[in-house]
Amino acid sequence: MKLQLLNIFIACTFCISCSQKPVKTERIQVSPKVLTDSLFIKSAASFICIGDYLVLQDPRQVSNFIKIYDTKGHLVSEVGQIGNGPEEFILPECIPFGENKFLTWNRYGTFQTAVSSSENQFKQEFRSFNVFNGKNQSIQLCKNGNFITYDPTKDHVITLYSPDGKEIASAGKLPFSSDIANREHFYSGKIVYNHENQILLLYLEVLPYAATFKVTSSNISLLNERTFGNPEYTINGDQMQVKEGGKNCLVGCCLTEDFIISIMNDPDYTGNDKSQTSPKRHTVGVYDYDFNLVKIVNLGMPRYNLAASGKDNTFYAIVQNPENSIIEIEL
């Protein structure tokens, strides 16, 4: 298969607006509901909620690497094959594709669709789309089927496309130099879309910047943006150097009705445990849509991935408990 084919499987901080009043952060300890404690996975590369289902993918499993659970914790289906073939995937990512549907895409996989049936099974279909240029780092979909992409090499990094590849709108100008080499690395980022309130979150992974946009079927408009902390970087010619890449960045975010949930190491932890199960890895940060940190939530166990449907303030997490488990948290 030619590499140029893009492949898809459907199945306190510094605020740019200084007039904002500081918001007190509440610390809370929760007792999550355990949905399942028998995932039998090696790792979870992505984790999403699509209506009545939770979809996670473990690319370390060559066969049936996508696991589909209902929101009660029951495994209902397994699909997907890792490899180089016409119906296989390399470095896939799952994203919602409407109610009880999802799409898995990467630059070197195949075009497929997984759609739930009345028997709680997922059958595969195959489709091609002409909206990808090979530089998109993250992709989401609107309810009407339009694609939203993040491409850090463009002047306006967020673009809305129709399914046939026609550009509808673009927005999002990063508050950093556009004249540096390797923008794909230094401005690497993710987008997450809440279909319920039509809010898109962009968060960078090297520099601590995030922004929200209103995305409709025909328009993109900036709502808010925030640079967290005071990032230290230098630019010499077209070369950028970042002192502590990833510091203060949002991580692994999901969107609920009222909140942005981010993986966050406990800022109050004073112990010396640096392991993956350290108590400092038990917490998540809860931000409002103005990027105020309103809660630090202690789950009581190490968390790895987050997911939410966006229709309420419930979210889900993959945790170690002590085996890999899925839990449900209501804020």
pLDDT range class, residue 6, cuts 50, 70, 90: very low
3-state DSSP percent of the chain in helix, strand and coil, to 5: 0, 45, 55
The 8 Å CB, 24+ separation contacts for 307-310 are: 307/47, 307/48, 307/49, 307/54, 307/254, 308/49, 308/254, 308/255, 308/256, 308/261, 309/49, 309/50, 309/51, 309/196, 310/194, 310/195, 310/196, 310/197, 310/255, 310/256, 310/257
Mean per-residue pLDDT, 210-227: 96
Q: Which two tokens stand for residue 220?
A: 């993109």
Q: Which residue has the tokens 């190491």?
A: 265
What local confidence, expressed as pLDDT, does residue 215 receive? 96
Mean pLDDT on 160-181: 92
Does residue 281 sit in helix, strand or coil?
A: helix
- Which pLDDT score is estimated for 208? 97
Dist CA 93 CA 87 (whole Å) = 15
**Structure confidence at residue 240 (pLDDT):** 95
Contact predicate 189/152, CB 8 Å: yes
CB atoms within 10 A of CB 311: 14
State the pLDDT at residue 3.
34
Within a domain: 328: no
- Collapsed DSSP state (helix, strand, coil) of residue 210: strand
Residue 294 in any domain: the answer is: no
pLDDT over 50 (residue 152): yes
Flag the least confident range among 42-51, 120-129, 253-262: 120-129
Q: Look at residue 152 and tell me if it is in a domain.
A: yes
Kindly state the average pLDDT of the residues 224-239.
95
| 158 — pLDDT class (breaks 50, 70, 90) | very high
Tell which residue, 265, 267, 270, 242, has the closest CA to residue 252: 265
What is the average per-residue pLDDT within 88-101?
80
User: Which residues are registered as beta bridge partners of 167?
Assistant: 161
Is residue 182 domain-resident?
Answer: yes
pLDDT at 10 over 50: no
pLDDT of residue 143: 83
Q: Is residue 210 in a domain?
A: yes
Higher-pLDDT residue of 315, 67: 315
Residues contacting residue 71 through CB under 8 Å, at least 6 positions apart: 35, 49, 52, 53, 54, 316, 328
pLDDT the model gives residue 38: 80
Structure confidence at residue 106 (pLDDT): 67
Residue numbers of the domain that contains 232:
133-244
Residue 126, in any domain of the structure = no
Q: Average pLDDT of 157-174? A: 93
- Per-residue pLDDT reduced to its tens digit, 205-215: 999 999 999 99
The yes-or-no verdict on residue 155 having pLDDT over 90 is yes
CA distance 160 to 151: 11
Looking at residues 28-57, what average pLDDT do you find?
89
Place of tokens 């002409």: 130
pTM of the model: 0.89
Is the per-residue pLDDT at 90 higher than 80? no
CA angle at residue 234 from 228 to 238, to 5 degrees?
120
pLDDT band at 71 (very low <50, low <70, confident <90, very high): very high
pLDDT, position 7:
41
Is 180 contained in some domain?
Answer: yes
Between 143 and 325, name the one with better pLDDT. Answer: 325
112 within 8 A of 92, measured Cβ to Cβ? no
Q: Is 227 exposed, middle or buried (0-12, 13-18, 19+ CB in 10 A)?
A: buried
Say whether pLDDT at 288 is over 70: yes
* Average pLDDT of the segment spanning 106-119: 50
Sign of the CA dihedral running 248, 105, 196, 71: negative
The 3 state secondary structure assigned to 283-306 is EEEEEECCCCEEEEEECCCCEEEE
What is the reported pLDDT for 225? 98
Contact by Cβ (8 Å): 180, 239? yes
- Name which residue leads in pLDDT, 23 or 303: 303
pLDDT higher than threshold 90 for residue 15: no
Residue 110 has pLDDT above 80, yes or no: no
- Per the structure block, which two tokens stand in for 151? 């491409």
**Entry field: residues in the chain:** 331
Q: What does the mean pLDDT of the chain come to?
A: 86
Give a yes or no: residue 141 inside a domain.
yes
Number of domains in the chain: 1
Q: Mean pLDDT throughout 121-149?
A: 76
Return the residue matching tokens 């408009």: 221
